[in-house]
Amino acid sequence: MKFNNFKLYGYSYAKSKILLTMKLTAIFLFTFLTSVGATSFGQRITLTEKNTTLEKALTAIGDQSGYDVLYNSAKIKKARVFNINLRDVTLQEALSKCFIDQPFSYSIETNSIVVRDKGSSTISANSANIDIRGKVIDETSMGLPGATVKVKGTSIAVVTDDDGKFAIKNVSEDAVLQVSFVSYVTQEVKLNGKSDLLIQLIAESGSLEEVVVSAYGQTQKKASVTAAISTITSKELKQSPVANLSNALAGRLPGLTSIQASGVPGGDASTIYIRGIGTYGANRSPLIVIDGLPRGDANFGDIDVNEIASISILKDAAATSLYGIQGANGVILVTTRRGNVGKTNISFNANYGLQTPQRIPEKFSSVQQATVDNMGAKNDGLAPVWTAKEVELFGSQQDPYTYPDVNWYKEIFEKYTPQQQYNANISGGNENVKYFVSLGYLNQGTLFKDANENKYDVKQKYDRYNFRSNIDIKATEMLNIRVDLASRLENRTGPGPGYASVFSYVNRIPNYTTPVYNPNGTYGAGRITANDIRNPLGALKESGYYDNYFNSTNGTIEASHRLDFITKGLSAKALYSFENYAESNYAQNQQFDAFRYRKDPITGVETYTSFSQISSLTRTYATTSTRYFTYNVQLNYNRDFGKNNITGLLLFNRNYNSRSNALPSVYEGYVGRLAYNYDAKYFAEFNIGYNGSENFPKGNRFGVFPAVSAGWLISAEPWYNAKTVSLLKLRGSFGYVGNDKFTNDVNSVVDRWLFISDYARSGGFDFGTTPTNPGGYISSRIGNPNITWERAQKMNIGLEAGFFKDQVRLEFDLFRDDRTNILSAPLTIPSYLGITNPPKINIGRVINKGFETSLNFKTKLNEVNLFGYVNWTYNKNKIIERDEPNLAYPYQSLTNLPVGYQLGYNAIGLFNNQAEIDAAPRQTFAGAVKPGDIRYTDMNNDGIINENDRVALQNNNFPSNVFGVSMGASFRGFDFSVLFQGTLGGKTYVPYLGPNRLGDIWTPETAATATYPLVHYSLAGGLNNSQINSFFIYSSDYLKLKNVEIGYNLSQSLLRKMKINNLRVFFSGLNLLTWDKLPYEDFDPEQTANGTALYPTQKIYNVGLSMSF
Amino acid sequence: MKKYIYSIVITAFMITLSVSCKKSFLDQVPSDYINENEVFGNINNAELFVNNFYTYIGSWNYGTGDSYVTSAMTDESKQRWSNGAVLFNTGSWNPSNFSPLSLDWTNAYEKIRAINTFLANYSLVPEDPNDPSKKTRLKGEALMLRAYYHFILYRGWGKIPLMIAPLAPATDGDAVFLERSDLTTVTATISKDLDEAMTLLPEKHSNNAYWGRATKTICMAIKSRLNLYYASTLSNSNNDLARWQNASTLSKQALDMALANGYTLLPKYADVFLTYANTEIIWGRNIGTGGGSGIDQVMQPLGYSGWSNSGPIQDLVDDYEMKTGVAIKAAGSGWDPKHPYKDRDPRFYATILHPGAKWKNRTINIYGNDKDNAAEPGTNYWWKKYMTEGLTLSNNTGGSNKSFSLIRLAELYLNYAEAQNEAIGPDANVYGAINAIRSRAGMPVIPAGLSQTQMRDVIRHERRIELVFEGHRFWDVRRWKIAEVVDNKPVFGVNYTIAGTTDTTFTYFQSQNRVFSASKHYLMPVPQSEIDKLVGKNSGFTQTPGW
């Protein structure tokens, strides 16, 4: 490859200068991108030529070496002609031969051979020249040897020495340095007269040099990682305009399953699982670790995305065993941003989005509902519920008070509600102090119309303020201090009954039940025979409100000290972190006046029957507060002995969590790690956690959780020469971790100290001629002195590969988790013993197996940068053991099935006629079975269908496959990306009939095609079809266009005038499209609705701006 | 080097600090945990523990063998909602599903265990220096309630495993695998507990605060009922007259003890169900005002903001005699099909709300607000027993506490009449007992000269009318083994059409068809889940015959 007419000489004619800059940028970018990961100086050259020109020879060398050759094609003609005879020599040797007695010199810079005039190295303009020296460091502040430091716009370039240091003489004091290194992001540093420089390079994400954060804030190069860890950086997280960060993770990380079940403002976090569910025990949630520490307030989703550097998930035992007794469900590790050495960077981000429900249940119109009612009544042999006249009135709306047709969704819901998010942050630092300071604000509006027009003048909303300041101080050559302080304030305001209740009223109330208002202006409450559902509008506007404040503050002080004077490579660290958080709930509740209005059809007499009466506002108030602290002391060791590298860690930690409603919970543990690598090719690690939890009886509190792992970077072997597969690494791990929590809620006070028996004051009974309850005592718990933690044995085998100079990267992990000692209630104790709360025992076993894979590519076509990312996770668990009784009907056993099965009837279609019913086993649910009803399998062949014929059915919306596909491109200032995300293997039970399924209902005429059974009106008649059965279990597989982002970076020339470094405007969207297999479009398949609608999850259209100075 | 001494000191200090603490960081004593000594070592706490023994003794409500739901499972009423009772009505109940009665099994044993725990720790309970009888009273209460809960199990299942110690698999191993004891052992064990309780309890509490607690009179009454059941056909297929004689003697003793302690029949029948802790109630409990999901709310028509959950059936309505003491279908009864609710047994008006009845200042109208939801049709009759007319349900005002009677004096008369008639025949004692009930109700005395069989019918009829909705009938028709007749036919509700201004035509619609299988439905099956736990481990434990 060659580049002609390369104006390298810096002739100062202004016109071509800009052109030159652009070309340079493009060339450097290109050479940089195409050479990622290539090992330098390894190429051998063979060249035999007589009377050749320098141009020809260099072209040949460039072709053989893959290096670009940069020269001025006009000037190079002056070179002398020469003979050359090279056989398998190095690049340097070849070049030095070519340049003997030439009026040119050469240098090798970032995979380019640059040809210059001899002696004309720099052209100084009008500014003074200085001598500079400096050091290039990586993210871990280690010196980076071999990095290229180039003075921009000149040919001066040097390479850093073994300590990462460099020195350049006679440089213009306002020059710009370009610092580059393979696998790192190239940095430009303005001298501004400084002569002593510290330059930090950040590794490219995904490269072997990338710094991976692991347990307890340890860092290591990706190349040396032997555990299963996946990471996402804030760049990708920011593409999703979400309020809660947990919702931005879907489809982004292999091994992570996220399920968002609600869209309530300030309460829409996703539930997250790592590698699926591995236990039927109550706690399936991963441990949340923020900046290396398990937290009391583990709600990481409410951290401002701009404060976050990366989120990692630790999946296998090698990654989690340091958290030992808490690590069995995996660990989510959130790392916040810190300052880097460099110029102060001020950035400002603004997002404004419109939320609209992904889906809203469709409702029958009054006429449709009345028709279906009459159809059902007819099927049940009842008189029509509505007369023809009434049905007509529903349609004509002549009497909208007695015969209303109110679409409550339209009445109550806004089409769009705003969500806005702003953040300003400053970061930077020098050798001694590095800082990151951020302030963020988020506001999420409610879906409910009139939410702000209630009679209390209280605006319903969710507000969040985030503050963070992370500071690193180099106190002495050997002492580093880290001081972090973060705070979060949240305010949730909502209607008295709560969002979920109001939504459920809206969802349950049919169109024909009640007018919004009665003729006299009071709230309607429907006809007498209607179900008791509160008027949703009244519930929203006149039932009071709640105001919930949450605030959380945490701070960390860490001192680390090098102890090289004891032995080289040794250092000690001590860390203390506190956290205080509190919540205050203030609510005012009241009843509102609502009347059931009826106008007698014959006499025309109007009656108002009181349904609910206004009551005075009642105030309720509750506060909870939590104080949490953790500290650890540790010794670190890291030293190279020739090609051997040894890393060691010894850590002691404690944490303490005291709450206003329970005794404190405490942990204590010792952690050890020993890692060895030889020549950065062979890696071995041993991790051990020795942790204790007060949940267990004295003497049995501590568990040992060891893990071993190893890795082999095959492509680093000298004999390795595969061209296509540029990177190949194998790794594996085996170990044990535990789970000491027996409830999903980390702050729950239930199921603690299960080894202790307890009595409690509870209940009592009314005695006396004036009834008085003196109270009572119950035996609330029988202790199990043998209680212990759940134990997970985890195995993992991983493969990492890079293809075509690492433009395509593949990671593949195969895992097997074997969870034993699952805490569960014994199911085999006869109930005649009267033990209603038998002590829980550690008995169950679940095996969870699967794989996850990701494929990543980046390339450039002309000026277009392209990237793509695919990840897929599959897991399947199986209950191997459960304390299950000797079932009379073995098909009702839940053992040997995945977690989450439920007993129900196996449907085998619909009865087509009476003859079929007569011939079939008798279905014993109340009400006569009619043609069109669901037919069930008689599992025990006794001729009767009853409870004994229920079989285990999958009825949990928990997918076995989750995947994400993202693609993007950038061209000049434009960038574009999309993310598709989906799941396979989930099921949901939805016995639901909506307007779009009217044609599916069974009638004698549609018998052949019907997909919905006969409708019933009477409860008894409907019982046959309303049993939990496989007929209504649908696949909840879905594919979502989760995320689209289009951005534009304003041109630099324009921005420079405004003193802005970077300004980007972007449009993004969330949950834009959904494809699924449900027979209706009423629910988001991700919401585990099981027939009950939940506050809908939101689609978001967002416009944003980010700028930095 | 000196420069770094400080950091070595700090590091060394922190490491020492972290590993040298004497008391373990994890040694948290949850001081709010309470052990046996704290509960039983304090007599006041021990009393509170005893208080909870009472919670499953039964009531009007939905759940276990309570009167609302058992009434809907027999020929008293029909539950509008399609759960619970419907399973029994359609005969489709089975060992895996016969809720709510299956809960009797677990609930009763739960309480028996608590009682056994108390008795096992009884030695820890100190005397109360201010109330020397307190400690023995607590034991008496425990024993009486153990007997009562065992009776509830016997009533449902006949042969049952008897639990007289707090057994647990962890401590007792295979000793937890019990068999079902035969009926004689069951009744003898229950009687033994009652007898011992009687030595520890007063006949009646003088302290008003103890109303509702166990007494010797209650023990006697339970014994009377137990022996009545034991003498009845279901337990006594050979009609061993000695059992009837025993039942008669015990019933008489119970009746006499009650009368001697001032229990009386209230002059007005309706008051028994509305006046709190009245003198007719031997054992009762508070059921609140009836508002706020209470009995009034559950039972009253929709138009009164009730839920109309349980409708009395036509068969019950028809069983009320004319106020002359003649059955409506009897010749010359004077019953008018056009005015079917006219001139009936006064207890009818105290027990049932019918269309056209005056209630809370208006007439009940089944064409207006009082109509049930079409999806869950009732019978167009509603409970009036226990209902407070002055209570406004929409805002829950105007009510006052009511008590539900588990045992009241009238039952003792009826027990005695029945046992005496079976043991001896219709002698004057039988007439005396029955007429005491009828006279209070405002009904004429029964005619003299009835045969034993005729008297049996009279007594059964009287029991049905007097004790309706009180949780007796469901079990009575079983012990008499007549359920295969009375609970094995369609039940009806009422409708009327208004023709002109005066003339009303009543029509009766079939509300439900009821199925009862004599081969298995008389006794409850042991819940299938219980059988599953015992299969292969406890071969001596068998399912109830027929199931």
pLDDT digits (tens, 9 = 90+) for A452-479: 777 788 888 899 999 999 999 999 988 9
Provide the 8-state DSSP code for A324: G
Alpha carbon separation from A965 to A251, A313, A869, A981, B9 (Å, rounded): 7, 19, 6, 6, 54
The mean pLDDT value for B100-113 works out to 94
Q: How many CA atoms lie within 13 A of A344 on its CB side?
A: 5
- Whether the CB of B37 is below 8 Å from some CB of chain A: the reply is no
Confidence of residue B125 (pLDDT cuts 50, 70, 90): very high
Contact: B94, A753; criterion CB under 8 Å:
no
For residue A574 the two structure tokens come to 């001590």
CB contact at 8 A, A1029 and A904: yes
pLDDT at residue A77 above 80? no
pLDDT at residue A120 above 60? no
Contact: A764, B51; criterion CB under 8 Å:
yes
Distance CA A733, CA A599 (A): 76
Best residue in B38, B48, B138 for a mutation probing chain A (most A CBs within 10 Å): B48
Contacts of A1020 in chain B (CB under 8 A): 82, 86, 376
Distance CA A149, CA A201 (A): 11
pLDDT at residue B20 above 60? no
Contacts of A1018 in chain B (CB under 8 A): 82, 374-377
Distance CA B461, CA B329 (A): 14
Instruction: Tell which residue, A139, A239, A120, has the closest CA to residue A183.
Output: A139
For residue B208 the two structure tokens come to 């008003």
Q: What is the pLDDT of residue A17?
A: 39
Alpha carbon separation from A160 to A133, A191, A246, A697 (Å, rounded): 10, 17, 42, 58
Provide the 8-state DSSP code for B526: P
- Whether the CB of B13 is below 8 Å from some CB of chain A: the reply is no
The mean pLDDT value for B404-432 works out to 97
Q: Which residues contact A134 (CB under 8 A, 6 or more apart)?
A: A149, A165, A166, A167, A196, A197, A198, A199
pLDDT in tens, A538-576: 888 888 999 999 999 999 999 999 998 888 899 999 999
- Whether the CB of B536 is below 8 Å from some CB of chain A: the reply is yes
For residue A778, the distance in angstroms to the closest alpha carbon of chain B comes to: 6
Q: What is the pLDDT of residue A31?
A: 37
Q: What is the pLDDT of residue A988?
A: 87
Q: How far is CA A710 from the centre of its chain?
A: 28
Which residues, listed in sequence order, are joined to residue A657 by a DSSP beta bridge?
A: A628, A665
Lookup result for tokens 């951020």: A438
Task: Give the amino acid at A707.
Answer: A
pLDDT in tens, B235-278: 999 999 999 999 999 999 999 999 999 999 999 999 999 999 99
Percent of chain A having pLDDT more than 90? 41
Lookup result for tokens 């304030």: A489
Contact: B30, A753; criterion CB under 8 Å:
yes
pLDDT at residue A92 above 90? no
Q: What is the pLDDT of residue B23?
A: 62
Among A657-671, A1001-1015, B346-360, the minimum mean pLDDT is found in A657-671
Q: What is the pLDDT of residue B240?
A: 96
DSSP A186-241: -EEEE-TT--EEEEE--BPTTSTT-EEEEGGGEEEEGGG--S-EEEEEHHHHTTS-
* A836: nearest CB among B18, B110, B213: B110
Which residues, listed in sequence order, are joined to residue A822 by a DSSP beta bridge?
A: A844
Contacts of B97 in chain A (CB under 8 A): 946-947
The mean pLDDT value for B520-545 works out to 92
Q: What are phi and psi of B25, to 5 degrees?
A: -60, -30
Distance CA B74, CA B536 (A): 36
pLDDT in tens, A391-448: 999 999 988 888 899 999 888 888 899 999 999 999 998 888 999 999 999 999 888 8
- Whether the CB of B33 is below 8 Å from some CB of chain A: the reply is yes
pLDDT in tens, A420-430: 999 999 999 88
pLDDT in tens, A944-988: 898 889 999 988 888 999 999 999 999 988 999 999 999 999 888
Distance CA A647, CA B432 (A): 100
Q: How many residues does chain A have?
A: 1109
Chain A residue at shortest CA distance from B536: A886
Confidence of residue A673 (pLDDT cuts 50, 70, 90): very high
Q: What is the pLDDT of residue A925?
A: 81
Assess: ipTM above 0.95.
no
Q: Which residues contact A638 (CB under 8 A, 6 or more apart)?
A: A569, A571, A645, A646, A647, A648
pLDDT at residue B5 above 80? no
Q: What is the pLDDT of residue A7?
A: 37
Better-scored residue on pLDDT, B395 or A793? A793
CB contact at 8 A, A1035 and A986: yes
Q: What is the pLDDT of residue A439?
A: 96
The mean pLDDT value for A351-355 works out to 94
**Mean confidence (pLDDT) of chain B:** 91
For residue A431 the two structure tokens come to 């050798």
Q: What are phi and psi of A1022, to 5 degrees?
A: -80, -10
Q: What is the pLDDT of residue A438?
A: 96
CB contact at 8 A, B309 and B68: yes
Q: Where are the beta strands (DSSP E) in B378-471?
A: 382-383, 403-408
Distance CA A103, CA A51 (A): 17
Q: What is the pLDDT of residue A344?
A: 87
Distance CA A117, CA A119 (A): 6
Better-scored residue on pLDDT, B343 or A155? B343
Distance CA A865, CA A858 (A): 7
pLDDT in tens, A20-61: 344 444 333 333 333 333 334 456 788 888 888 888 888 888
Q: What is the pLDDT of residue A65?
A: 76
pLDDT in tens, A228-280: 999 888 888 888 888 899 999 999 999 999 888 888 888 888 889 999 988 98
The mean pLDDT value for A618-629 works out to 90
Distance CA B213, CA B218 (A): 9
Among A17-21, A171-175, A584-588, A735-739, the minimum mean pLDDT is found in A17-21
Instruction: Tell which residue, A1085, A854, A811, has the closest CA to residue A965.
Output: A854
The mean pLDDT value for A158-175 works out to 83
* A763: nearest CB among B31, B32, B52: B52
Q: Which residues contact B9 (CB under 8 A, 6 or more apart)?
A: none
Q: What is the pLDDT of residue B427?
A: 95
For residue A154, the distance in angstroms to the closest alpha carbon of chain B comes to: 45
pLDDT at residue A6 above 90? no
pLDDT at residue A739 above 50? yes
Q: What is the pLDDT of residue A25?
A: 40
Q: Buried (b) or exposed (e) across A706-743, using 16+ Cβ within 10 A?
A: bbbbbbbbbbbeeeeeeeebbbbbebbbbbbbbbbbbb
Contact: A701, B117; criterion CB under 8 Å:
no
pLDDT in tens, A1010-1047: 999 999 988 878 889 988 899 999 998 999 999 999 99
pLDDT in tens, B377-387: 789 999 999 99
Q: What is the pLDDT of residue B143?
A: 98
Chain A with chain B: Cβ pairs closer than 8 A: 250
* B533: nearest CB among A383, A777, A885: A885
The mean pLDDT value for A1086-1090 works out to 68
**Mean confidence (pLDDT) of chain A:** 85
The mean pLDDT value for A1065-1090 works out to 86
Distance CA A40, CA A756 (A): 66
According to DSSP, the β-strands at A112-117 and A68-70 are: parallel
| C-alpha triplet A1087, A1093, A1098: angle, nearest 5° | 55
Chain B residue at shortest CA distance from A834: B110
The mean pLDDT value for B146-172 works out to 94
Q: What is the pLDDT of residue A750?
A: 67
Distance CA B463, CA B473 (A): 8
Provide the 8-state DSSP code for B544: P
Q: What is the pLDDT of residue A20?
A: 39
Contact: A767, B210; criterion CB under 8 Å:
yes
